[in-house]
């Protein structure tokens, strides 16, 4: 469930769409490797015009996530993995790879309308 945003015109300044696809795949791989228990929920949006990457986990919420500048992403994706883990912890989901997501989602605090509640 990821989304790749690339410019429509050829006049765009910046990396070619293939480089954007590589960045997208590398980000997705790093998050899935670090947090396999929530691997199917990650959504990554790349905005070349703004120079940012937005990441959310749709298993938790379509509203909460994190945004970071593409220039600040390190080659080993450590800062992306760290921010992904912080997002999980806001919903009281452990970073551990052997986390039982069925139990974690069942025990997640929710608003009366069913939306998950996160810690500030």
- Mean pLDDT, rounded, for 27-51: 90
pTM: 0.77
Question: What are the C-alpha distances in Å from 45 to residues 1, 19, 65?
Answer: 10, 14, 11
Q: Let me know: does 44 contact 55? Beta carbons within 8 Å.
A: yes
| Token digits of residue 107 | 């025990």
pLDDT digits (tens, 9 = 90+) for 74-117: 999 999 999 999 998 888 888 887 777 778 777 888 888 877 88
pLDDT of 70 > 70? The answer is yes
pLDDT of 7 > 70? The answer is no
- Mean pLDDT, rounded, for 30-44: 90
């Amino acid at each position: 469930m990821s989304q790749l945003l690339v410019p429509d015109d050829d006049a765009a300044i910046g990396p070619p769409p293939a480089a954007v696809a590589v960045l997208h795949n590398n980000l997705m791989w790093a998050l899935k490797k670090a947090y396999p228990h929530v691997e199917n929920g990650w959504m990554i949006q790349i905005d070349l015009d703004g120079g940012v990457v937005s990441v959310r986990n749709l298993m938790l919420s379509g509203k909460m996530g994190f945004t970071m500048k593409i220039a600040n992403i390190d080659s080993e994706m450590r800062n992306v993995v760290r921010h992904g883990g912080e997002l999980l912890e806001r919903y009281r989901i452990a970073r551990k790879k052997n986390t039982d997501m069925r139990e974690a989602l069942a025990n997640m605090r929710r608003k009366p309308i069913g939306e998950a509640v996160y810690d500030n």
